[in-house]
Amino acid sequence: MLPATRSAARQIRRLAYLAAGQAASAFAAFLGQDLRAHEPRLCASSGAATAGRGETGVIFEVIGEVNGLMALLLPVGGREWLAEALCPGEDPHGALAESALRETGNIVASHAVSAMADHLGATVTLSPPILVTSHADRVFGDMLDERRTRFECVGTQTELCAGDGTRRALLLFAPDAA
């Protein structure tokens, strides 16, 4: 279901744009690499978690003036890339790498919701991170399906890419509509 009005769709895209810009900046600073956010794409909630777009991810509930879900999804091979960047030589499936993934998601998503909160002049917070190590896109989709029974959900997808265009992550944002 898409928003009832163009105005609502514009507001969701604007929030996603601000959030993704801050998320990309935080992610880039954290990694010491050049990362940029592409233009957010608005999609029905079922399209917010495209199969195969995120193998590993960190998912959050967004709470406050804006409620919904947010996720930072990494493509196949992204977990290994991020683990090597943050904890060289460590097992990308070990406890240290999982902790680094969770913390990276927390930092990136916190910057994203802070941008939303600043724009709205309101309080927006995150739940504790949920690390999903396999089929994160499907888990996010299942969480949206569960919420969809209570709310209309519209989502945005924003690719976070390296300077050479390589997609490093996908930021998903699906606010609830009352």
Asked if pLDDT for residue 50 goes beyond 70, the answer is no
pLDDT band at 107 (very low <50, low <70, confident <90, very high): very high
Our count of domains for the chain comes to 1
Quick one: average pLDDT of 15-38?
87
- Is 136 within the bounds of a domain? yes
Asked if pLDDT for residue 152 goes beyond 80, the answer is no
- Nearest residue to 93 via CA among 77, 104, 106, 72: 77
- Is 1 within the bounds of a domain? no
For residue 43, what are the domain limits?
A: 6-177
- Is 70 within the bounds of a domain? yes
Of 27-36, 79-88, 91-100, least confident by mean pLDDT is 27-36
CA atoms within 13 A on the CB side of 161: 12
SS3 78: helix
Task: Identify the CATH number of the domain in which residue 38 sits.
Answer: 3.40.1550.10
Asked if pLDDT for residue 51 goes beyond 50, the answer is no
The answer to whether 166 and 74 are in contact (CB under 8 A) is: no
Asked if pLDDT for residue 145 goes beyond 90, the answer is no
- Is 153 within the bounds of a domain? yes
- Is 101 within the bounds of a domain? yes
Of 14-28, 32-46, 108-122, least confident by mean pLDDT is 32-46
Other C-beta atoms closer than 10 Å to the C-beta of 148 total 16
Q: What is the pLDDT of residues 123-137, one digit of tens each?
A: 999 999 999 999 998
The pTM (predicted TM-score) of the whole model is 0.87
- Is 29 within the bounds of a domain? yes
- Nearest residue to 173 via CA among 39, 57, 60: 60
**Cα distance from N-terminal residue to C-terminal residue, the chain:** 13
Average pLDDT, the chain: 85
Q: What is the pLDDT of residue 112?
A: 94
